[in-house]
Every structure is written in structure tokens, then in C-alpha cells.
């Protein structure tokens, strides 16, 4: 992988210098939340895009907001950056209610919010350095100050040697790195990422996510990721909010939501990233309670760390057959997702044994013995 797409920040002194000078002074905000939304509602005609959304984002947190197309994600992000006014409710950014501010009063607050876009939105006729410095030009800073800041940020994202290049000479990953540098130019307190990796290949996506994670860790920058990709949230987010039809249907630490999704919308979004029963067995499933019972097992945290499979093998006559799955780690928490086969006659015994150990068990059907 080229150095420019490696997802690494420059040596510590550069990052520390940027961290020390990362943000402009913030208004008083005793609660410590960079963002707080309370009962946000926004409709377009008879369609409710947001229907009572309340959430908070803590300083230094990476929050992932995920949902299908049309769930309300775009309207939510436009309410966050002040481009959309809710019909009712409060949008507090660093303690200030943006719904009460005039357009003129919103301008300095918008400079506290950086934006990264799916399609980069770079100006083709300007150099990389001038693209990064554009927010500072709009803010009225001198060219010397603008270019000095642009040089620091291009160093931060691994593109110092591209300052004089034009966007047409860059790869997709490099363009997004320029977009990230531009979003940081005005020293924001909040970075909004709107489907920032959707137009990138998987390898480049990983490098961009690694860069965002490093920026969050070293600079303490608060990030809100809007996406429809569970793997993006899993890679770097601390907390996850699932939105559907303008409402929050689930939220919590990423590892917990992945391990124990409650909403059917969340379960559907997670389907591609969870182990599936092999087709050869799935095609033979039956409701007839004979032969082999097929169990889906989910465990997380302490339950996943316990030797529950060894205990099950000793406790249930005939033991079990491990069909598919394994143990993964999300945010350093073990998450187990497995398919087991046990003799139908002992299925209820196996289910009760596992449930007593905080393991989630679902009997999904039976497979008859081959003749």
C-alpha cells in the first residue's frame, strides 16, 4: 500500500503540535456534550423525515449513525450542521441552540463543524493546498496563514508532497485525505462524515478509517459518522445509533449492538456480517422435532469468555456438533456467533443449560438423519 494510503499520522511531535492548537476556544458547555439533540422533528409535506430524534455525542467520541436509504440520515446531518432547520426540538452544539440563531449568528458556529463528503467536493481548478485552505480564505485569513495551516494538515494526512498538485492527479483515497485535511482547516470541535467511504474500494476504505481513528485518538476530535455500512461503524465507532423511518430504533456501544441486536432493522443490517448457516444444511431444515436440532448461539463479554462449549459437551448426552461460526473481538470484547447441532431429544436440555449461562440460544429447526 502506498504511504499516502497507509492510514498513519506523522511522527508524534507534528501531531502533538496540531493537538495543542487543534480547536478554537469553545463556549461554556458544562454537560460535556459536543452535540445534544432533543425531540427533533422535521417533515417534508406529509413525510416525516425525523420523528422525535434525541441523542447526545460526548467530547472525543466517535458516534456511528446507520440506517437504510431514506431512514432520515441525510436530514439529521443537515440539522447538525445548520443547513436544515427542524420543525421543532432543540439542536445544541457546544451548548448553543442552533434553532434559535439567525443565519448570521450561525456562521461562526458552522466553522466549529468540519464536513467530509462521499464525493470529495474538491475544486478541480485549485491546487491541493488551496483546496485545504479554502475555509480559511472564506474566514478572511491571510494567504501566508492559510498555506501554513494547509501544509501542517497535508503533513498530518500523509500528502505533504501533493500540495502543488491538482485533484485530477490524485487517487480516490488521496482525494478523501485532502477532504479530511480541508475539514480540519478551521480547527473544528466536531467532524461530520457523510458516507465518506462509500465511493472507495475496501482497501482504501480501511486506510481512511484508520486515519480518522488516529486523528480522533491523537487530537481528541469528536466525530459523527453517517453511513449505511455496518463494517465502517464496526471499524472505528465507539457507539452506534440505528435510525429507521425518522426514529432511533436502537443505540449502544458498538460491540453490544453487534452482539445482541434487538431491532429487526439492526438484525437485517447486520445480516451480511454475521455467520450464516451453510446452504446445504439450511435447505434441509424442518419443523419436525426429530433427528438433529440446529441451534444458533450468540454470546458476548463474560459469557463469550467462559468455556461454555466444553461445559455443554460434558453436560448434554451425546455432546454437540459445531457446524459453523466462531469468536470475534469487537472493541476488545469477545463476541461469539455459532451454529450447533445437538440430538433433538436433548435440544431443550441444551437450550436451558446455555441460557442459564447468559448465552442467547435460538432453535432454528431440525435436520433429519440421512437414510
What residue spans define the domains of the chain?
A: 3-270, 279-367
44-86: pLDDT as tens digits: 999 999 999 999 999 999 999 999 988 999 899 999 998 999 9
For β-strands 190-194 and 239-244, DSSP reports them as unpaired
Q: How confident is the model at residue 31 (pLDDT cuts 50, 70, 90)?
A: low
DSSP string, 124-171: TTS-HHHHHHHHHHHTT--HHHHHHHHHHHHHHTT-GGGTT--GGGS-
Torsion of CA 160, 7, 234, 308, to 10 degrees: -160
Q: Please state, in angstroms and rounded to a whole number, the distance separating the CA atoms of residues 272 and 284.
A: 21
The H or E element containing residue 319 is none
- Section 22-50 average pLDDT: 77
Which is nearest to 330 in space by CA: 309, 304, 351?
304
pTM over 0.85: no
Taking residue 298's Cβ as centre, other Cβ atoms within 10 Å add up to 21
CATH 3.40.50.620 fits 3-270, yes or no: no
Mean pLDDT lowest among 43-47, 98-102, 268-272: 268-272
Question: pLDDT tens digit string along 222-234?
Answer: 999 999 888 899 9
More confident residue, 39 or 139: 39
Interval 26-38 mean pLDDT: 71
| Predicted pLDDT of residue 370 | 65
Per-residue exposure over 165-183, b if at least 16 CB sit within 10 Å of its own CB, e if not? ebbeebebbbbbbbbbbbb
Model pLDDT for residues 337-347, shown as the tens digit of each residue: 999 999 999 99
CA 271, chain centre distance (Å): 16
Q: Which of 167, 163, 141 is nearest to 151 (CA)?
A: 163
Selected from 3.40.50.880, 3.90.1150.200, 3.40.50.12780, 3.30.70.260, the CATH number assigned to the domain covering 279-367 reads: 3.30.70.260
Asked if residue 182 has pLDDT above 70, the reply is yes
Amino acid at each position: 500500500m502506498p504511504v499516502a494510503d497507509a492510514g498513519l499520522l506523522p511522527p508524534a511531535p507534528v501531531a502533538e503540535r496540531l493537538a495543542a492548537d487543534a480547536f478554537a476556544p469553545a463556549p461554556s458547555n458544562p454537560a460535556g456534550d459536543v452535540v445534544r439533540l432533543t425531540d427533533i422533528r422535521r417533515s417534508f409535506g406529509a413525510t416525516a423525515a425525523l420523528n422525535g430524534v434525541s441523542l447526545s455525542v460526548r467530547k472525543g467520541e466517535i458516534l456511528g449513525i446507520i440506517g437504510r436509504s431514506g431512514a432520515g440520515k441525510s436530514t439529521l446531518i443537515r440539522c447538525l450542521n445548520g443547513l436544515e432547520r427542524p420543525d421543532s426540538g432543540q439542536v445544541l452544539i457546544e451548548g448553543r441552540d442552533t434553532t434559535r440563531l439567525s443565519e448570521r449568528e450561525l456562521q461562526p458556529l458552522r466553522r466549529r463543524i468540519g464536513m467530509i463528503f462521499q464525493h470529495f467536493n474538491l475544486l478541480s481548478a485549485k491546487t491541493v493546498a488551496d483546496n485545504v485552505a479554502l475555509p480559511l480564505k472564506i474566514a478572511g485569513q491571510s494567504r501566508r496563514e492559510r498555506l501554513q495551516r494547509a501544509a501542517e494538515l497535508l503533513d498530518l494526512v500523509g500528502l505533504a508532497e501533493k500540495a502543488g498538485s491538482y485533484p485530477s492527479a490524485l487517487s480516490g483515497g488521496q482525494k478523501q485525505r485532502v477532504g479530511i485535511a480541508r475539514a480540519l482547516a478551521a480547527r473544528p470541535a466536531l467532524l461530520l462524515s457523510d458516507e465518506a467511504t462509500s465511493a472507495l474500494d475496501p482497501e482504501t476504505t480501511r486506510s481512511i478509517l484508520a486515519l480518522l481513528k488516529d486523528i480522533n485518538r491523537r487530537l481528541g476530535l469528536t466525530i459523527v459518522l453517517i453511513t449505511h455500512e455496518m463494517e465502517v461503524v464496526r471499524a472505528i465507532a465507539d457507539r452506534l445509533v440505528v435510525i429507521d423511518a425518522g426514529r432511533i430504533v436502537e443505540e449502544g456501544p458498538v460491540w453490544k449492538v453487534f452482539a445482541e441486536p434487538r431491532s429487526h432493522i439492526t438484525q437485517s443490517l447486520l445480516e451480511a456480517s454475521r455467520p450464516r448457516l451453510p446452504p446445504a444444511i439450511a435447505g434441509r431444515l424442518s419443523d419436525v422435532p426429530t433427528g438433529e436440532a440446529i441451534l444458533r448461539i450468540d454470546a458476548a463479554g463474560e459469557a463469550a469468555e467462559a468455556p461454555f462449549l466444553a461445559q455443554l459437551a460434558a453436560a448434554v448426552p451425546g455432546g454437540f456438533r459445531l457446524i459453523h461460526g466462531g469468536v470475534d473481538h469487537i472493541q476488545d470484547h469477545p463476541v461469539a456467533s455459532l451454529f450447533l447441532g445437538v440430538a433433538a431429544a436433548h435440544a431443550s436440555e441444551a437450550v436451558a443449560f446455555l441460557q442459564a449461562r447468559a448465552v442467547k440460544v435460538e432453535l432454528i429447526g431440525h435436520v433429519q438423519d440421512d437414510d
